[in-house]
Amino acid sequence: MRLASVVGTRPQLIKAAVLQPILRARHEELFIDTGQHYDDALAGAFINELDLVPPDHQLGVGRGSATEQTAAILARLEPILSTYRPDLVIVYGDTNSTLAGAIVAAQLQLPLAHVEAGLRSFDRRMPEEVNRLIVDHLSTWAFAPTATAVDNLAAEGITQGVTLVGDLMQDLAARMSVEVRDPAVLAQIEARLADQAPGLRLRPGGYLLATVHRAENREPAALRAWADLLASVASGTRPVVLALHPGTQAALTAAGIPLAPAIRVVQPQGYRTALALQLHAAAVLTDSGGVQREAAWLGVPCLVLRSTTEWLEAVADSDGRMVVIGLDQNRAIEALARLAPESSAAADSAQRAASLRLAPAGAAAAIVDRLEAGLPA
């Protein structure tokens, strides 16, 4: 088959890194990067670290509103797919790149495969939720990561082409987690971060890791709320390491909102570094769907900085380690006191890392096998 894969963000590169080797071993793939994550720290380094083939096309859409990014991708992607005429277009997740890839495929009457189909937060204020809904209803194949996702699709009348395949990100996390179990990895990361965060000391259980990037958390009121929340749980003895998306940094600067001294800002990190920082942290605070899942697989306490999540099974199966708290400062303090008390965080972190044995989901093989079986009946 002649396939075209459309990516544009770090999580999509992670998924493509698992699927691409199997695709390319058996089929022809045109690899297209929209440039939605537009700098080297966000995306470029991932391509090298994860051994991805360099994209055949770099669309370079850069920053902008959701509408601006989607429009730019539509305009630049359509002539490529129109000329190449793949047998199938593959899109991942729920981003502007996903939506644009699906629309172009539909307009050109090309079969579409949606990897990570069926997820629902049931909150249409989230742009990602709108993207998921549209893409799933345009798809020929809907590759669902969870049983709940399959049920969500069925509730919307989507049953043809639906396959439960598991989570591609779990496959990569299983492979890479072996490399970051040793806490000695923290000394290497600390050295690399010395210029960004002078004096930062990374010890197992001795810091909290935070990521904040979603559109709703870049509004002025939300910026202030989560900045205050992080300040309330950060201290000199247990700092918050904030891996800060450049768009979020720009929003903070524009709003004139400073971060507390115990919040140590670093650039978005490569995949192995990000996984290691999660595994050895006392807890993770995030609005990222990808980080939620990784924290669940690693067994790390996780506070979800959103009022809803599409990863309901990650919360339900976490034995209480994952809590959706929104931007409620009091709930954050209570949850950390219960899930990651400073008195036991170091021992808890050491035990978690030593006992980690994460099994792959086998999602990539399941996806390719289903595609090779032919068009859905």
Catalytic residues: 213
CA–CA gap between residue 12 and residue 29 (Å, rounded) = 16
Q: Token pair for residue 61?
A: 């859409």
With 0-12 CB in 10 A as exposed, 13-18 as middle and 19+ as buried, what is 113? Answer: buried
**Sequence-distant (≥ 6) Cβ neighbours of residue 308 within 8 angstroms:** 121, 122, 123, 126, 324
Per the CB < 8 A criterion, the answer to whether 81 and 71 are in contact is no
Q: What is the DSSP letter of 7?
A: E
Question: What are the distances in angstroms from CA 188 to CA 272, 300, 350?
Answer: 12, 21, 17
199: how many CB neighbours lie within 10 A of its CB?
Answer: 8
In the chain, what is the greatest distance between 2 CA atoms, to the nearest angstrom? 61
What is the distance, to the nearest Å, from the Cα of residue 19 to the centroid of all Cα atoms in its chain? 16
Per the CB < 8 A criterion, the answer to whether 76 and 103 are in contact is no
HSE-up (13 A, CA, CB side) for residue 279: 30
Reference 336, options 204, 203, 208, 206; nearest CA is 208
Helices 10-26, 168-180: axis angle to 10 degrees equals 100
Question: What are the distances in angstroms from CA 176 to CA 66, 90, 328?
Answer: 32, 24, 33
